[in-house]
């Protein structure tokens, strides 16, 4: 085991796959000498050369399209998009092409491509560089979507994503890059489509992903002091979604709070709530699942406003107490 950051964990995972397979290439803006906007690809150009660490012009549509074409011809591109807001520019090559080729070719063509991007608020990057747009790709058949919350999951999932023959969207919250935790040095993989129980409990299920999972863990630790044993589910994979783990947890706790940073309206929390409400445990729930997400507003630049529109530990605790019918002190 070694203690490394979330950023370093993703870099290690990519490097290990590049060592295993010469067809793995990394494509994006400033990923070579600069090491990427958040330093994830730092040092990879020196190790693997500029034929495999490919610097691009500032045109997300163009180089993502090139990556899709390369994947159809046998390469396994890892595309870096600086900010998640810019994945809107990749919509045509990913949604209209990469997601469809396997189906439209009756399985004859594969598109093994990973699109990595940072997302989320908390850095003062304002409305055009702080969005959480994961739902945009979740409604497209043929794409997998993951959002790890810790270095261990990040390293294991990036390796699984690179080896997957389906296009995989890999969302990395900006506030996670500097978090350090123990990560095995040996080879390991985290399977896509499998959630993790981060904290076991029997009072209420806190269901989340990415940075919001960290908030739920902190809230659960504080709630435990008050006798509320919250179970925290780290989804890790949004599509495919681990319905079994969600349902099993809710069957035990009979209460659920779903937390994510994206706005509540049409957010992924609605899908999780539907999984619970449409399952056999719906009638056993003491209360229907509740969603806690961002407010319906572009992310402000001002720090105090930015913090005000997204979930935090205090809001999670307040919602849990409402669900538990406990009067907040």
CA dihedral 69, 21, 48, 81 (to 10 degrees): 40
b (16+ CB within 10 A) / e for 252-288: ebebbbbbbbbbbeebbbbbbbebbeebebeeebeee
DSSP 195-251: -EEEE--SSEEEEE-THHHHHHHHHHHHHHTTT--EEEEE--EEETT-HHHHHHHHH
| In the chain, beta strands by DSSP E | 2-5, 24-28, 53-55, 76-83, 114-119, 144-146, 168-173, 180-183, 196-199, 204-208, 230-234, 237-239, 256-263, 290-294
CA dihedral 91, 92, 98, 100 (to 10 degrees): 110
**Residue whose pair of structure tokens reads 């849990």 in the numeric block:** 320
CB atoms within 10 A of CB 326: 13
Taking alpha carbons only, the member of 239, 249, 236, 316 closest to residue 276 is 249
Among 12, 17, 60, 196, the active-site one is 60
Query: Phi and psi for 162 in degrees, rounded to 5?
Result: -65, -35
**Separation CA 184–CA 9 (nearest Å):** 10
60 as an active site residue: the answer is: yes
* Radius of gyration for the chain, computed over Cα atoms and rounded to the nearest angstrom: 20
**Separation CA 197–CA 214 (nearest Å):** 13
Q: How far from 116 is each of 65, 82, 127, 289, 296, CA to CA, in Å?
A: 15, 8, 20, 31, 25
Among 12, 29, 80, 129, the active-site one is 129
260 as an active site residue: the answer is: no
Tell me which residues are annotated as active site.
60, 129
């Amino acid at each position: 085991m070694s203690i490394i950051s979330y950023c370093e964990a993703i870099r290690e995972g990519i490097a290990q796959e590049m060592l295993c397979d010469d067809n793995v290439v990394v494509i994006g803006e400033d990923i070579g000498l600069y090491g990427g906007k958040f330093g994830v690809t730092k040092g990879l150009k020196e190790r693997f050369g500029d034929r495999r660490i490919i610097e691009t012009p500032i045109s997300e549509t163009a180089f993502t399209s090139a990556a899709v074409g390369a994947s159809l011809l046998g390469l396994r591109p890892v595309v870096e998009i600086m900010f998640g807001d810019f994945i809107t520019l990749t919509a045509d090559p990913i949604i209209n092409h990469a997601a469809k080729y396997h189906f439209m070719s009756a399985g004859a063509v594969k598109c093994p491509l990973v699109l990595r991007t940072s997302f989320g608020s908390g850095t003062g990057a304002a409305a055009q560089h702080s969005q959480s747009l994961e739902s945009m790709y979740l409604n497209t058949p043929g794409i997998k979507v993951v959002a790890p919350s810790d270095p261990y999951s990040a390293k294991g999932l990036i390796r699984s994503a690179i080896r997957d023959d389906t296009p995989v969207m890999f969302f990395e919250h900006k506030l996670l890059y500097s978090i350090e935790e123990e990560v095995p040095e040996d080879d390991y993989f985290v399977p896509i489509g499998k959630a993790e129980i981060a904290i076991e409990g029997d009072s209420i299920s806190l269901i989340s992903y990415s940075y919001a999972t960290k908030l739920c863990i902190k809230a659960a630790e504080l709630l435990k002091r008050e006798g509320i044993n919250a179970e925290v589910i780290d989804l890790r994979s949004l599509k495919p979604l681990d319905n079994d783990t969600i349902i099993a947890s809710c069957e035990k706790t009979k209460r659920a709070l779903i937390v994510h940073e994206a706005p509540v309206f049409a957010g992924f929390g609605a899908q999780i709530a539907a999984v619970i409400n449409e399952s056999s445990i719906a009638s056993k729930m003491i209360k229907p699942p509740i969603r806690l997400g961002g407010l319906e507003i572009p992310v402000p630049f001002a720090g105090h406003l930015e913090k005000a529109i997204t979930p935090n530990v205090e809001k999670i605790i307040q919602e849990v107490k409402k669900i538990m019918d406990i009067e907040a002190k």
